[in-house]
A and B are shown apart, each in its own frame.
Chain A
Amino acid sequence: MEIPYTVESREDTGLNNVKLGIWLFLASEVMLFGGLFSSYVLLRVGAETWPVGASILSVPIAAFNTVVLIASSVTMVMAWASLKMNDFGKFRLYLGSTVGLAVLFLVVKAYEYSDKFSHDLYPSESTFLAIYFTVTGLHALHIIGGIIVNGYFVGPGSKMWKTAPEQFTNRIEAAGLYWHFVDLVWIFLFPVLYLL
């Protein structure tokens, strides 16, 4: 039994199911991180003192990580574009780079965290550290999710290119939308936590 519009677009909505589905999921993610940003605002407004991010966190390291993540967004969209141009080899290269850059981001993040812990700077120390660790931690979990999904598409999942190329391209587009969203969240997290 075939579910219609899994691959081809429905005429009146102009969408296929996966595209609409991923955007709706991203809408819920906006609200998820929104809850945390709202918490940040309330905690900061209610605090007697609030440290300048740069006094506790390392701006150069996070700036580097920002560049890494933005670059991974570029390689992600290039991976999709390569599929649209029928270049499977380039697709693999770009998506592989996306995964590699994501891993690099996590490695740097792990270094940041361990550096904090080694100075006894735990989430329980202050509400600033609490929100810092929690929101970047949740963001990191989303990066891990993206690594798993993209890794699957570089590896065993890429078989679908031979059997159902259009469906595969749609899936990569959906994975790309998710990945760009993860990048978007960081674009806001970085200045809010580190620079303000």
Chain B
Amino acid sequence: MDTVATLDHSHAGHEHKASWWRTYVFSVDHKVIGIQYAITALVFMLFGFILMIMMRWQIAYPGQPIPWVGQFLGDANAPGGIMLPEFYNQLGAMHGTIMVFLGVVPLAVGGFGNYVMPLQIGAPDMAFPRLNMASYWSYFVGGVVMLLSFFAQGGAANSGWTSYAPLSIIATSGQTWWLFGMVFLITSSLLGSVNFIVTIIQLRAPGLTFMRLPFFVWTQLVTAFLLLLAFPPLESAAVLQLMDRLAGTSFFMPSGLVVSGAAVDVSGGGNPLLWQHLFWFLAHPEVYVLILPALGITAEIVANNTRKPLWGYRVMVYSAIFLGFMSFLVWAHHMFLTGMGTAISAFFQTTTMIISIPSVVILSALVISLYGGSLRFTTPMLFALAFLPMFGIGGLTGLPLGLALPDLHLHDTYYVIGHFHYVVAPGTIFALFAGIYYWFPKATGRKMNDLLGKIHFWGTFVCMNGIFFPMLIQGLAGMNRRMYDGAEMYQHTQGVLVWNGTILTFAWVMGLFQLFFIVNFFWSMKKGAKVTSDNPWKATTLEWATPTPPPHGNFVTPPEVHRDPYEYSVPGAVQDFTPQNERR
């Protein structure tokens, strides 16, 4: 029998009905805001995907007109449907920016964090509901600014998502749009991270000690600290870059810079590496922002679908904390080729090797958790299971990049692109898909279709490997990244150019398989099989102890927690799961 909070669905003490705008658009309810973040992020991810497909076409068939869409891109971008290098660079810079800052993080943190975390800690909402709303709208505005930048004179930002100086200083006006967009996004992130940390520390239900928190909540807590403390230096860097671009300062402009044969008219004295330090100070912790929530989601789904507690929960928690701390100490492994001396290079190589340990520990704990489990191969579990080896490949391929010597060969090649996409795409995004299939019934009262889910899974899984594994091969051959002609002009890449066609095929086939997800998502909202209980997955954590969907305020009376988070298959128990709030 599932514990269902008895509730009459009127707001206790609030008999007025809020307007449609206050309920669905300007809501302060964390669940509405979470769904807003999730849907907005998924739309941005689709847009980022489209940018990438156009790039992959150009790489596979450089100089040929892009089918179907080429004619609509305009003469400034693709005269005669043939992509200009300038436009290719815009696609590259914006694909990265959109996927990281407008897609994955808002979905993982803004979407899942907002929706699930307060429920899992037994809270009525976030500590600062209005701040939460402000955080979403700041993100939205930042996203709109980023998209509108494509219409700026000279198009969108085109200096890479990394915006290295001095190229980004002399770049077209889209870069200024990018900088302003980032200010909005960073503000959103800042407001959100304060909210998350205060909520987790202050609003835990009675009996919910830190070591009884679901691992998902721990990952959100560490992530929030990363965002809180790592983003501000990028904000200052963005201010400095805006000053260089708009006020003619030379924070990043070195003395004696010559562009197209003419000396640049600035005071000079600046340091391009200053930008790199400030950028990577954020951007390295950012990659742990990308992976931690995914590890959290995977942990929840693995425990639920093995019907046993997570192996090594405590060790996983300490590893997550240690990982978060170390993430601030490794950033210059992105700068091994900037002329670093041996001492500082050795320091960053060492810290980078050390940081691989907690990642391996967490991954190993998740794998060991499968042993002896009673596995249920639900759609969420398929994605969660696939996440494990995919993240493993992503992590392992990172090791040669973290050592300066192999990095000499691999830096700025497709090997890097293969590495980080393995971690984020069949890594994090698989965990996010898993989370959507998993928590969809709680949010909507209906299950997503299982067959469509499995087709989505297998198609995507095969295609992800078809896209990114060849990149590792190409990178090892020395194929440079960010080449608009797919590196066809180089002798040393000739042998691996054939993979460009393979990658393109798998990419657009993967796009087709996403249709199974998109259709399933929207169709199931209205026509999906209704769940017959508030806890259809028979899970132990508190979000399943609410009505379905949870009302404003989530719990009628604050739940009391009496147990650890993953009390599955407790010997002597009536069922194979015991909810956290069930009395002893």
Once A20-B202, A21-B198, A124-B266 are accepted as A-B contacts, the answer to whether A43 and B278 lie under 8 Å apart by CB is no
Measured CB to CB, the closest approach of chain B to A120, in angstroms, equals 13
Interface check A111, CB cutoff 8 A: no
Per the bound structure, the CA–CA distance linking A122 and B248 in Å amounts to: 9
Per the bound structure, the CA–CA distance linking A21 and B232 in Å amounts to: 16
Once A17-B198, A20-B202 are accepted as A-B contacts, the answer to whether A124 and B267 lie under 8 Å apart by CB is yes
Measured CB to CB, the closest approach of chain B to A173, in angstroms, equals 16
- CB closest chain-A residue, reference B238: A35
A97-111: which residues lie under 8 A (CB-CB) from chain B? none
Once A32-B235, A123-B248 are accepted as A-B contacts, the answer to whether A134 and B194 lie under 8 Å apart by CB is no
- Cross-chain contact B194 with A17 (CB below 8 angstroms): no
Measured CB to CB, the closest approach of chain B to A13, in angstroms, equals 6
- CB closest chain-B residue, reference A32: B232
Q: What chain A residues lie within 8 Å of B266 (beta carbons)?
A: 124
Interface check A4, CB cutoff 8 A: yes
Please encode chain B, from 233 to 270, with 1 for each CB lying within 8 Å of some chain A CB and 0 for all others: 11111011001000111110000000000000011011
- CB closest chain-B residue, reference A2: B124
- Cross-chain contact B202 with A10 (CB below 8 angstroms): yes
Interface check B503, CB cutoff 8 A: no
- Cross-chain contact A1 with B235 (CB below 8 angstroms): no
Measured CB to CB, the closest approach of chain B to A143, in angstroms, equals 16
- Cross-chain contact B229 with A1 (CB below 8 angstroms): no
Once A1-B11, A39-B240 are accepted as A-B contacts, the answer to whether A24 and B267 lie under 8 Å apart by CB is no
Stretch at the interface among A81-89, A125-133, A187-195: A125-133
- CB closest chain-B residue, reference A128: B269
Measured CB to CB, the closest approach of chain A to B208, in angstroms, equals 11
Q: What chain A residues lie within 8 Å of B195 (beta carbons)?
A: 21
Per the bound structure, the CA–CA distance linking A36 and B232 in Å amounts to: 10
Per the bound structure, the CA–CA distance linking A39 and B233 in Å amounts to: 10
- Cross-chain contact B232 with A1 (CB below 8 angstroms): no
B9-24: which residues lie under 8 A (CB-CB) from chain A? 11-12, 14
Q: What chain A residues lie within 8 Å of B231 (beta carbons)?
A: 28, 31
- Cross-chain contact B125 with A34 (CB below 8 angstroms): no
- Cross-chain contact B240 with A3 (CB below 8 angstroms): no
- Cross-chain contact B235 with A130 (CB below 8 angstroms): no
Measured CB to CB, the closest approach of chain B to A130, in angstroms, equals 4
Please tell me which one of the listed residues B127, B228, B278 contacts residue A28 in the complex, with CB atoms under 8 A apart. B228
Per the bound structure, the CA–CA distance linking A150 and B478 in Å amounts to: 59
Q: What chain B residues lie within 8 Å of A15 (beta carbons)?
A: 201-202
Interface check B129, CB cutoff 8 A: yes
Category for how many chain A residues contact B:
35 or more
- Cross-chain contact B250 with A124 (CB below 8 angstroms): yes
- Cross-chain contact B233 with A31 (CB below 8 angstroms): yes
Q: What chain A residues lie within 8 Å of B194 (beta carbons)?
A: 21, 24-25, 28
Most buried by B among A3, A16, A122: A3
Please encode chain A, from 40 to 76, with 1 for each CB lying within 8 Å of some chain B CB and 0 for all others: 0011001110000000000000000000000000000
- CB closest chain-B residue, reference A25: B194
- Cross-chain contact A24 with B198 (CB below 8 angstroms): yes
Per the bound structure, the CA–CA distance linking A48 and B194 in Å amounts to: 41
- Cross-chain contact B274 with A43 (CB below 8 angstroms): yes
Interface check B552, CB cutoff 8 A: yes
Interface check B514, CB cutoff 8 A: no
Measured CB to CB, the closest approach of chain B to A5, in angstroms, equals 5
- Cross-chain contact B203 with A4 (CB below 8 angstroms): yes
Once A1-B124, A1-B125, A32-B236 are accepted as A-B contacts, the answer to whether A127 and B250 lie under 8 Å apart by CB is yes
Taking beta carbons and an 8 Å cutoff, which residues of A are in contact with B? 1-6, 10, 13, 15-17, 20-21, 24-25, 27-29, 31-36, 38-39, 42-43, 46-48, 122-127, 130-131, 134, 138
Return 24 A-B CB contacts under 8 Å, by A number. Answer: A1-B14, A4-B124, A5-B127, A5-B203, A10-B202, A15-B201, A16-B202, A17-B128, A24-B193, A28-B194, A28-B228, A28-B229, A33-B236, A35-B237, A36-B239, A36-B240, A43-B270, A122-B247, A127-B250, A127-B267, A127-B270, A131-B251, A134-B239, A134-B251
The 6 closest A-B pairs by CB, nearest first: A35-B236, A35-B233, A124-B248, A32-B232, A130-B249, A31-B232
